[in-house]
């Protein structure tokens, strides 16, 4: 029981974050639109002509599968689902017109459907290839023709209703959300560099090791941001609420590319520093004269990359201070290289990376040359 409570306490932040994501305004809007689309599809389905009105329960399903957070996602999902249904119904029709559904033809057709679904041709509708074939052969039975028509037509009704609802109540582009996450990542990188600066001047080995673990997670953060930015781009396609601002995410992509390069450099600094601190295999020594100027350079560069707008007077001041701190570090490295007769060391590697970070961030000025 104690272990269970401990696990719950450990996972509490993740659980709270999951619940917070579930009640975001954009998610609640999707919930409302999905409920509306399903209700409208169920109301329309019994009024369809011919035999299709005998299968009204597929219309709400079509509306459900077509509802995505983005308008383009809804279009893509709806069309791919219908394509998967057509393929599955086509497979079942071949069986109906030839040997008929038997104990061996049904599993064979389902197997072929699963095989086709693995080609990637049907996207999110891949699961409907074997499902449609199975339903037509087992549920349709002797009325396979009518069932196939009703199944496909009612699903199409639901998809169309879902798309109409998504167009009329178009979701807001998630560009601002993606931009805010990229800005938060910039501040996160600055915090990591500050933590490294503090670790270098602590008594060794440092008492705080979280900075090393956090630096290792930067790659995961970058991947998550790429996904969020791709979703932001998708949220703008065919979206009437994004009309006239099609190039709005270009600068965010450029910022993320720069921050990704900075993240790699910071991870190299963190790895080299951690290797030296904990005397890991392959570690490089750190000259006792370098921790102070190296720490000062880390803090100065961290302050410089945390600035959102590089055109302000404060940003120019911080860049100048960072450039001077790096220059002082390089001068100390040069002096110690002459004194000890060795160029290898964590201080040298870190100095090179800090200078590169300042350049990549667009914060290089004349005083840095």
- Supply the CATH number for residue 188's domain: 1.20.120
Tell me: pLDDT of 223 over 90: no
Backbone angles phi, psi at 120, to 5 degrees: 85, 5
Angle (nearest 5°) at CA 48 between 45 and 49: 160
Half-sphere exposure (CA, 13 Å, Cβ side) for 145?
2
C-alpha to C-alpha distances, 212 to 57, 135, 150, 152, 268, nearest whole angstrom = 55, 54, 60, 55, 11
Is the pLDDT at 248 greater than 80, yes or no?
no
Statement: residue 165 has pLDDT above 50: yes
Q: Token match 């005998």: residue? A: 54
Whether 164 and 179 map to the same domain: the answer is no
| pLDDT tens-digit readout, 179-209 | 888 888 999 899 889 988 888 877 655 555 5
Same domain, 258 and 145: no
Residues 332 and 186 occupy one common structural domain: yes
**220 lies in a domain?**
yes
Among 168, 190, 222, give the residue marking a domain's end.
168
6, part of any domain: no
Could you tell me if 351 and 254 lie in one domain? yes
Distance (Å, whole) CA 307 – CA 125: 45
The range of the structural domain enclosing residue 204 comes to 175-237+245-368
Report yes or no on whether pTM surpasses 0.85: no
* Phi then psi dihedrals of residue 253, to 5 deg: -60, -45
Residue 52 lies in a domain: yes
Q: What is the pLDDT of residues 94-117, one digit of tens each?
A: 999 888 888 899 999 999 999 999
66, 74 contact by CB (below 8 A): yes
Residue 367 pLDDT level (bands cut at 50, 70, 90): very low
pLDDT in tens, 301-344: 999 998 877 778 888 889 899 999 999 988 888 887 766 666 55
Residues 182 and 95 in one domain: no
Among 123, 142, 168, identify where a domain stops.
Answer: 168
* Assigned domain for 7 exists: no
Q: Are 82 and 152 in contact (CB under 8 A)?
A: yes
341: left (phi over 0), alpha (psi -120 to 50) or beta: left
Closest CA to 357 of 267, 271, 225: 267
Is there a single domain that holds both residue 139 and residue 188?
no
> Which token pair is 303?
């302050």
* Judgement on whether residues 96 and 216 belong to the same structural domain of the protein: no
> If you ran DSSP here, which 8-state letter would residue 345 be given?
S
Indicate if 229 and 332 belong to the same structural domain.
yes
Does residue 8 lie in a domain region? no
Q: Residues of 317-334 as b/e, b for ≥16 C-beta within 10 angstroms?
A: ebbbbbbebbbebbebbe
> Does residue 7 carry a pLDDT above 70?
no
pLDDT band at 363 (very low <50, low <70, confident <90, very high): very low
* 87 assigned to some structural domain: yes
Assigned token pair, 149: 């028509």
Token couple for 54: 């005998």
Average pLDDT over residues 247-260: 82
* Rounded-to-integer distance, Cα 233 and Cα 245, Å: 11
Distances (CA, A) of 324 to 196, 204, 331, 356: 19, 27, 10, 14
DSSP state of 368: G
Residue 80 lies in a domain: yes
| Structure-token match 């009612």, residue found | 154
Residue 147 sits in the same domain as residue 219: no
Domain stops at, among 130, 146, 168: 168
Among residues 353, 368, 337, the alpha carbon closest in space to that of 196 is found at 353
Same domain, 163 and 185: no
The answer to whether residue 14 sits within a structural domain is no
Using DSSP's 3-state secondary structure scheme, residue 309 falls into: coil
Same domain, 179 and 127: no
Q: Tally the domains of the chain.
A: 2
Residue 120 tokens, joined: 């990637």
Residue 288 three-state SS: coil
Residues 267-286 have pLDDT tens digits of 888 888 777 766 666 666 67
pLDDT band for 136, please (50, 70, 90 cuts). Answer: very high
Number of helical H runs and strand E runs in the chain? 14, 0
What's the pLDDT score for residue 364?
41
Q: Which two tokens stand for residue 160?
A: 């169309």
Q: Does residue 219 share a domain with residue 92?
A: no
Distance CA 184, CA 321 (A): 23
Question: Tokens standing for 246?
Answer: 């099609």
The sign of the torsion formed by the CA atoms of 199, 205, 210, 212 equals positive
């Amino acid at each position: 029981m104690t272990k269970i409570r401990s696990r719950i306490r450990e996972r509490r932040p993740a659980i709270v974050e999951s619940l917070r994501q579930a009640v975001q305004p954009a998610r609640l809007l999707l919930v409302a639109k999905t409920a509306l689309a399903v209700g409208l599809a169920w109301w329309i389905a019994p009024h369809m002509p011919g035999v299709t009105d005998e299968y009204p329960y597929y219309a709400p399903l079509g509306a459900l599968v077509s509802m995505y957070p983005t308008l383009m996602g809804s279009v893509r999902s709806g069309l791919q689902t219908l394509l998967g249904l057509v393929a599955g119904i086509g497979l079942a029709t071949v069986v109906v017109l030839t040997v008929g559904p038997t104990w061996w033809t049904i599993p064979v057709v389902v197997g072929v459907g699963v095989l086709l679904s693995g080609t990637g041709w049907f996207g999110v509708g891949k699961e409907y290839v074997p499902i449609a074939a199975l339903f037509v052969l087992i549920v349709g039975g002797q009325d396979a023709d009518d069932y196939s028509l009703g199944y496909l037509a009612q699903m199409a009704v639901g998809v169309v209703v879902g798309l109409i609802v998504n167009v009329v109540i178009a979701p807001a582009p998630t560009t601002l959300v993606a931009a805010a996450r990229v800005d938060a990542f910039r501040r996160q990188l600055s915090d990591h560099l500050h933590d490294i600066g503090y670790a270098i001047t602590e008594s060794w080995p440092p008492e705080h090791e979280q900075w090393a673990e956090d630096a290792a997670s930067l790659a995961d953060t970058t991947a998550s941001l790429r996904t969020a930015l791709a979703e932001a781009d998708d949220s703008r396609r065919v979206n009437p609420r994004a009309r006239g601002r099609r190039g709005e995410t270009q600068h965010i992509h450029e910022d993320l590319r720069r921050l990704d390069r900075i993240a790699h450099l910071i991870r190299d600094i963190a790895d080299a520093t951690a290797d030296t601190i904990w005397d890991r295999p392959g570690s490089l020594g750190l000259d006792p004269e370098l921790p102070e100027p190296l720490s000062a350079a880390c803090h100065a560069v961290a302050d410089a990359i945390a600035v959102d707008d590089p055109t302000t007077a404060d940003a120019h001041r911080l860049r100048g201070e960072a450039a001077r701190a790096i220059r002082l570090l390089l001068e100390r490295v040069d002096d110690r290289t002459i004194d000890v007769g060795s160029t290898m060391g964590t201080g040298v590697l870190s100095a090179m990376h800090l200078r590169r970070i300042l350049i990549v961030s667009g914060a290089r000025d004349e005083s840095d040359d």
